[in-house]
């Protein structure tokens, strides 16, 4: 008996060691079944779950939940998944196997138990890697391991955000130290003008993709450098520059040290834009090429994705700082300070211009893209200065619209609806429009039952977390009690969750509280709102917005009807995107490059109500959701905000609320569900990350590698 349990424990540990469990519903339910309470309290962490489990507990749950055969089946399926040769990647893009794509990103949002992401960019990187794995597109990923992760959020009794930093202990994560040829932990060494910097490398298995995370917390470094990778987006400019040195230059060196020769470099955002410089240096060393020749060669194999038109999203450094960190690399490249700085400047000879990582990335990549059609246009306009004399439409920045990883974001209750309605193998054919057409035949009752169960699940979650947190922060007992019966499955539920960056305008719907009161407390057609989100620790404007939402949620008119959930992360995100009726998105156009949370809502049968910005500008067809206004912009943001606030109220009052409460004799909202079906049919196939990665592979990776997509009629 004893050895049986040890064997089961080993198998579970093996299952937890590949992050593929994080998008396998059955694997998650196996880990949950070991101890459901601890699973929730421990943040859905298999390693922690197993470590805390006594042998006796394991034996009991193994018997109660039939774990032995379930785990065996999962391991078998997983082994099959790793070997699958029939996916899109091996069939169409198999030629890339000669040299993988090296995908660089400062953050990866793979699962809430590995908090090395802050928001949309990280979640997108995670989704990209997962789809590359599912499709079998040869790709390795490179990032940083943040020992203090991204923060955990707490509000005080006034609603002001406070941050605590978790400890990301690599030993307690599904990470393995990469070893060198002698079996010692691999070390990467970088020299700067202020001394050497060293790093170790951790490897995570994300399905079929290997993710390498550099970690400066090694004995060879001094105290300060050991803390270099302590926090994501923390510290001062010097720390940021040194992190980016580690990510870009260190990342290329790490791949080299492991014998990985990428065919293509993909810089996901400008943080990693130093990478091509190191790749050029290697090429010069290996083949004795000159700097310009080597740079051209590397640039032809480099893809750059820009993610925001917001100025704060583009790293800028003082040139002195760049020389301080990159000086020795510059020496090796044999170029002058002027030539190095010129690479990060729009006007090479302007000594007053700072060094911009986006400019560097655009100059060192021959293929660049924005993340939606509109963002592509905005980016071309923004960067015409780099191609003087060229008409805007000829600026070489294209677009690939973001998508989301279906198995990560689709809730089981809706997955069951699709299993019934869609053709066999629909998941693997998710990027084809035909796959989704049969959704139009699903009857109202089936759809509504699934939707209601997801909404009830979210409401249970809110009713558990909100009063608990209110009591913890010492709020009045009457508030806590009201929160125990917050929201209601009978009422229209609108969700808003994202980073509280000011351009996302979380406060827009609170602009006119009288009018909101009449909507929320309408006697026949009430409306409820649930908010969540984090503000950057240094963004007092974002924190003030959170506080405003918090205070409205404590206004007697709104208690239990407007709720602010503490601690937005991927777990809270999954609950919200699957449980709400409507997802509200009201950024100041055109500042939302894409946005992806609304795409998660589509998969789960909710409807989007959004400003036509980012992905929604190309997604909305008049019948598959709701539009707030028609995309007007104004030079004065205050004017634009005021107009949009009015348009938002108008959309809610005139369209969203009436449609939701328009019921047939069975109490079903027939026309609403028609819109849900249309949303699923027209949007699911386009805005998933399988489609996105296929677009990257066919449109950018293969051409960058000098290869072509296989025409599968010839296979
Ligand atoms: C999907 C997601 C985001 C991205 O949301 P946007 O709509 O792009 O703002 C941010 N954070 C988390 C936790 C997410 O799951």
Mean pLDDT by 10 residues, the chain (715 residues): 83 98 98 96 94 94 97 98 95 92 98 96 98 98 95 97 93 95 97 97 98 98 96 93 98 98 98 98 97 98 96 94 98 98 97 97 98 98 96 97 98 98 97 98 98 98 97 96 98 97 95 97 98 96 97 98 97 98 98 98 98 98 98 96 98 98 97 98 98 98 92 53
Q: Atom of ligand 1 at shortest distance to CA of 118?
A: 11
Structural domain spans, the chain: 4-83, 88-399, 409-456+493-517+534-552+568-687
Which residue's CA is the closest to the ligand 1 atom numbered 6? Answer: 595
Taking a C-beta distance cutoff of 8 angstroms, is the pair 343, 326 a contact?
no
**In angstroms, what is the span from residue 185 Cα to ligand 1's centroid?**
35
573 lines ligand 1 (CB under 6 A): yes
Q: Atom of ligand 1 at shortest distance to CA of 574?
A: 15
Would the CATH topology of 88-399 be identical to that of 409-456+493-517+534-552+568-687?
yes
**In angstroms, what is the span from residue 118 Cα to ligand 1's centroid?**
9
Query: CB-based contacts of 17: which residues, under 8 Å, 6+ apart?
Result: 174, 205
595 lines ligand 1 (CB under 6 A): yes
What is the distance between the alpha carbons of residues 685 and 14, in angstroms, rounded to a whole number?
33
What stretch of H or E contains 266?
Answer: strand 264-268
What is the distance between the alpha carbons of residues 627 and 620, in angstroms, rounded to a whole number?
7
Start-end of H helices in 337-395: 337-343, 357-363, 373-382
Which residue's CA is the closest to the ligand 1 atom numbered 11? Answer: 119
What's the pLDDT score for residue 715? Answer: 38
**In angstroms, what is the span from residue 587 Cα to ligand 1's centroid?**
13
What Rg do the C-alpha atoms of the chain give, in angstroms? Answer: 25
569 lines ligand 1 (CB under 6 A): yes
What is the distance between the alpha carbons of residues 382 and 220, in angstroms, rounded to a whole number?
43
596 lines ligand 1 (CB under 6 A): yes
120 lines ligand 1 (CB under 6 A): yes
Q: Atom of ligand 1 at shortest distance to CA of 569?
A: 13
Mutate to test the pocket of ligand 1, among 119, 122, 126, 505 (most ligand atoms within 8 A of CB): 119
- Pairing mode, strands 607-610 and 626-627: parallel
495 lines ligand 1 (CB under 6 A): no
- According to CATH, the topology of domain 409-456+493-517+534-552+568-687 is Rossmann fold (3.40.50)
Mutate to test the pocket of ligand 1, among 573, 580, 687 (most ligand atoms within 8 A of CB): 573
What is the distance between the alpha carbons of residues 569 and 577, in angstroms, rounded to a whole number?
12
Query: CB-based contacts of 316: which residues, under 8 Å, 6+ apart?
Result: 354, 355, 356, 357
Start-end of H helices in 21-179: 25-34, 36-41, 46-52, 55-64, 67-83, 88-92, 120-135
What's the pLDDT score for residue 714? Answer: 43
Mutate to test the pocket of ligand 1, among 498, 502, 503, 570 (most ligand atoms within 8 A of CB): 498
Whole-number Cα distances in Å, 300 to 363, 370, 612, 703? 11, 18, 34, 9
Mutate to test the pocket of ligand 1, among 22, 112, 532, 596 (most ligand atoms within 8 A of CB): 596
**In angstroms, what is the span from residue 584 Cα to ligand 1's centroid?**
13
- Residues in the chain, overall count: 715
**In angstroms, what is the span from residue 621 Cα to ligand 1's centroid?**
23
Tokens of 651: 């959309």
CATH class of 88-399: alpha beta
What's the pLDDT score for residue 2? Answer: 59
Could you count the other beta carbons within 10 Å of the beta carbon of residue 204? 25
DSSP, collapsed to helix, strand or coil, labels residue 596 as coil
């Amino acid at each position: 008996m004893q050895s049986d349990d040890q064997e089961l424990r080993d198998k579970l540990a093996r299952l937890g060691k590949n992050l593929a469990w994080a998008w396998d519903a059955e694997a998650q339910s196996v880990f949950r079944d070991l101890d459901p309470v601890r699973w929730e309290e421990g943040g859905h962490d298999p390693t922690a779950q197993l470590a805390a489990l006594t042998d006796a507990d394991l034996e009991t749950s193994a018997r109660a939940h039939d774990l032995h055969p379930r785990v065996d089946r999962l391991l078998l399926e997983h082994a099959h998944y790793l070997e699958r040769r029939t996916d899109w990647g091996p069939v169409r893009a198999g030629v890339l196997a000669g040299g993988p794509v090296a995908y660089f990103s400062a953050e990866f949002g793979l699962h809430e138990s590995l908090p090395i992401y802050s928001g949309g960019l990280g979640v997108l990187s995670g989704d990209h890697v997962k789809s590359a794995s599912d499709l079998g597109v040869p790709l390795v990923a490179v990032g940083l391991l943040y020992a203090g992760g991204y923060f955990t959020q707490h509000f005080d009794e006034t609603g002001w955000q406070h941050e605590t930093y978790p400890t990301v202990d690599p030993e307690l994560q599904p990470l393995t130290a990469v070893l060198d040829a002698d079996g010692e932990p691999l070390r990467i060494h970088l020299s700067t003008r202020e001394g050497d910097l060293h790093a170790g490398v951790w490897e995570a298995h994300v399905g079929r993709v290997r993710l390498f995370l550099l970690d400066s917390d090694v004995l060879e470094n001094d105290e300060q450098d050991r803390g270099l990778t302590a926090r994501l987006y923390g510290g001062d400019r010097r720390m940021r520059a040194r992190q980016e040195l580690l990510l870009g230059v260190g990342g290329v060196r790490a791949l080299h040290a492991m014998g990985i020769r990428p065919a293509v470099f993909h810089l996901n955002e400008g943080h990693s834009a130093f990478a091509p410089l190191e790749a050029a240096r290697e090429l010069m060393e290996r083949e004795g090429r000159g700097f310009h020749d080597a740079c051209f060669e590397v640039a032809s194999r480099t893809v750059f994705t820009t993610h925001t038109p917001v100025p704060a999203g583009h790293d800028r450094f003082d040139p002195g700082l760049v020389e301080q960190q990159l000086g020795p690399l510059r020496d090796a490249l044999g170029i002058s300070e002027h030539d190095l700085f010129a690479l990060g400047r729009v006007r090479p000879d302007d000594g007053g211009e700072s060094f911009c990582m986006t400019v560097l990335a655009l100059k060192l990549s021959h293929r660049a893209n924005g993340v939606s059609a509109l963002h592509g246009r905005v980016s071309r306009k923004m960067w015409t200065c780099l191609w003087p004399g060229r008409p805007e439409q000829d600026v070489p920045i294209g677009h690939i619209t973001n998508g989301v990883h279906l198995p990560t974001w689709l809730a089981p209750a809706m997955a069951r609806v699709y299993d019934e309605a869609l053709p066999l193998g629909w998941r693997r054919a998710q990027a084809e429009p035909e796959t989704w057409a049969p959704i139009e035949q699903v009857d109202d009752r089936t759809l509504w039952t699934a939707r209601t169960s997801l909404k009830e699940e979210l409401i249970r979650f809110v009713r558990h977390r909100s009063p608990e947190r209110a009591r913890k922060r010492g709020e009045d007992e009457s508030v806590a009690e009201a929160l125990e019966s917050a929201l209601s499955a009978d009422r229209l539920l609108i969700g808003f969750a994202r980073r509280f960056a000011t351009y996302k305008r979380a406060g827009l719907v609170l602009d006119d509280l009288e009018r909101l009161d009449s909507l929320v407390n309408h006697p026949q057609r009430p409306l409820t709102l649930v908010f969540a989100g984090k503000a950057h620790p240094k963004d007092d404007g974002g924190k003030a917005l959170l506080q405003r939402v918090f205070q409205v949620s404590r206004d007697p008119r709104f208690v239990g009807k407007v709720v602010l959930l503490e601690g937005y992360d991927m777990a809270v995100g999954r609950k919200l995107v699957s449980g709400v009726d409507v997802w509200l998105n009201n950024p100041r156009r055109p500042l939302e490059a894409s946005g992806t949370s609304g795409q998660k809502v589509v998969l789960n049968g909710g409807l989007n109500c959004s400003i036509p910005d980012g992905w929604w500008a190309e997604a909305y067809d008049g019948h598959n959701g709701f539009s707030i206004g028609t995309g007007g912009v104004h030079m004065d943001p205050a004017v634009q905000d005021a107009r949009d606030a009015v348009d938002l109220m108008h959309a809610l009052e005139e369209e969203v609320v009436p449609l939701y409460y328009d019921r047939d004799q069975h109490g079903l909202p027939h026309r609403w569900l028609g819109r849900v079906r249309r949303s699923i049919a027209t949007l699911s196939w386009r805005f998933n990350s399988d489609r996105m990665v296929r677009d990257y592979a066919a449109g950018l990776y293969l051409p960058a590698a000098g290869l072509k997509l296989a025409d599968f009629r010839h296979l």
